């Protein structure tokens, strides 16, 4: 839609008409004055976004933890497959799997701190279960390996 030209006022010069058109194009300088009163800042949303993106970037999981989780779970998967196939009666493999399972539980618990989730009751219960299972399996696997190597 094309703008309608404002009709020339009687007795107004071309300069006055041009100034009036410029002022219309600029708009009202007193617009949104009510938002500026009492020291309120109506650009708060623009200022908050960079902080939240910076906070999200600091809560990312470090690369070392990602690599450690990947290695732990791949090794655990390989050991479980080997225990169920060719190493059925090998006590070293069984206790190593138990030790690695406990360490993986503790590593998962440690990596949960980098998630951006609210701490709900179920989230806390899961944390307690991960700690208990991690300590239990680490102790069982470590004690089994200790017993195999030093008491036979």
Q: What is the pLDDT of residues 122-136, one digit of tens each?
A: 888 988 999 999 999
SS3 content of the chain, % helix, strand, coil (to 5): 75, 0, 25
Indicate the domain borders of the chain.
60-150
Tokens 């070293």 sit on residue: 92
For 36-64, the DSSP string reads HGGG--TTHHHHHHHHHHHHHHHTSPPHH
Q: What is the pLDDT of residues 28-79, one digit of tens each?
A: 666 655 555 555 555 555 555 555 555 555 567 788 888 988 999 999 999 8
């Amino acid at each position: 839609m094309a703008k309608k030209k404002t009709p020339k006022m009687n007795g107004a010069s071309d300069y006055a008409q041009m100034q009036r058109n410029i002022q219309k194009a600029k708009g009202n300088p007193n617009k949104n004055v009510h938002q500026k009163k009492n020291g309120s800042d109506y650009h708060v949303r623009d200022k908050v976004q960079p902080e939240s993106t910076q906070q999200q970037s600091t809560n990312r999981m470090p690369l070392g933890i990602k690599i450690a989780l990947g290695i732990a779970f791949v090794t655990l998967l390989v050991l479980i497959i080997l225990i169920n196939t060719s190493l059925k009666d090998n006590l070293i493999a069984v206790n190593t799997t138990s030790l690695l399972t406990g360490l993986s539980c503790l590593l998962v618990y440690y990596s949960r701190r980098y998630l951006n989730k609210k701490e709900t009751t179920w989230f806390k219960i899961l944390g307690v279960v991960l700690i208990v299972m991690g300590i239990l399996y680490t102790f069982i696997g470590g004690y089994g390996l200790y017993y195999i190597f030093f008491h036979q």
